[in-house]
Structure 1
Amino acid sequence: MSSYKTLPTPGDTAWFTHDRFGMFIHFGLYAMPARHEWVKNYEEIPEDHYDLYFKHFNPDLYDPKEWARQAKAAGMKYVVMTTKHHEGFCLFDTKYTDYKSTNTPCGKDLIREYVDAFRAEGLHIGFYYSL
């Protein structure tokens, strides 16, 4: 028997317990070197080298409509996507930083597309946002 106590979660999480099957999309600049999301930190990549990913960020295979169709077909009920990871890059437009997808060759708010696509398929959406 565990001595750990599970604290109640604020808000109504019944849908999560009921739906159970979902997807987490971990995506950002760190996807470009294709190793892991902590690549900048773990490999101690200097800022000027990591900045090359920002300057060339243009995810040509980003297709949230297709992802949403596939998720629904697989029986998923929810999806959570990284909006901002630990290195600070935002996949949405914000007035609080210039380090965002709208300032890359991609030039658009990727989270808006994600939200619209998955909601259109009737899936719950969530956001992962690192402070």
Structure 2
Amino acid sequence: MRTYKNWPADYPDPNWFLHDRFGLFIHFGLFSIGARHEWFMTTEKIEPTTYRENYFSQFDPDLFNAEEWAQTAKKAGFQYMVFTTKHHEGFALWDTALSDYKVTNTPFKRDLLAELLPAFRKVGIKIGLYHSLID
């Protein structure tokens, strides 16, 4: 296995990544309702207020089942999962105290991370979180 020379002592060892390799990236949010890419608010020049009015009140991922997703990922052989907690438009997929622009204020009303992370940990899949600071 390859080792990294001069790797900072306070950084986790990246060798697990070379070993595990096969991972799942879960990336969805308000932009999923528009059935386009995650940058469409910006590229189509949609005002944030209009974007929020059009998509926030509709967000209800009715097929979300954290335990089923985790079990399916495990059966498929995934070794790790990275979840987008908040993308560039600023919509949080967890129940943050820092914003009202969050999943628990949508018709879904549930904290995706509170369900997803324990389910993936339960089946032994490593977890990474992607969080955009752009907004």
The TM-score with structure 1 as length reference comes to 0.89
Aligned residue in 1 for 2:3: none
Residue 8 of structure 1, CA deviation: 4.6
What residue ranges of structure 2 are gaps of 5+ in the alignment?
A: 1-5
Return the letter of the residue paired with 1:72.
K
Aligned residue in 1 for 2:73: 71
Residue 16 of structure 1, CA deviation: 1.4
Q: Distance in 1 between matches of 2:7 and 2:130?
A: 20
Aligned residue in 2 for 1:4: none
Aligned residue in 2 for 1:3: none
SS of 2:119's equivalent in the other structure is helix
Q: Distance in 1 between matches of 2:57 and 2:104?
A: 11
Residue 37 of structure 1, CA deviation: 0.8
Aligned residue in 1 for 2:122: 120
Residue 111 of structure 1, CA deviation: 0.9
Q: Distance in 2 between matches of 1:43 and 1:114?
A: 31
Q: Is the aligned partner of 1:12 residue 2:13?
A: yes
Structure 1 runs (4+) deviating above 6 angstroms are none
Q: Distance in 2 between matches of 1:8 and 1:105?
A: 45
Aligned residue in 2 for 1:32: 33
Q: Distance in 1 between matches of 2:129 and 2:122?
A: 17
Residue 105 of structure 1, CA deviation: 0.9
Return the letter of the residue paired with 1:102.
T
% same residue: 54
Q: Distance in 1 between matches of 2:24 and 2:87?
A: 17
What residue ranges of structure 1 are gaps of 5+ in the alignment?
A: 1-6
Aligned residues: 125
Q: Distance in 2 between matches of 1:113 and 1:14?
A: 28
Q: Distance in 1 between matches of 2:113 and 2:55?
A: 19
Q: CA RMSD in A?
A: 1.5
Aligned residue in 2 for 1:84: 86
Q: Distance in 1 between matches of 2:92 and 2:101?
A: 6
Q: Quick check: 110-119 or 39-48, which moved more?
A: 39-48
Q: Distance in 1 between matches of 2:7 and 2:100?
A: 37
Return the letter of the residue paired with 2:111.
D
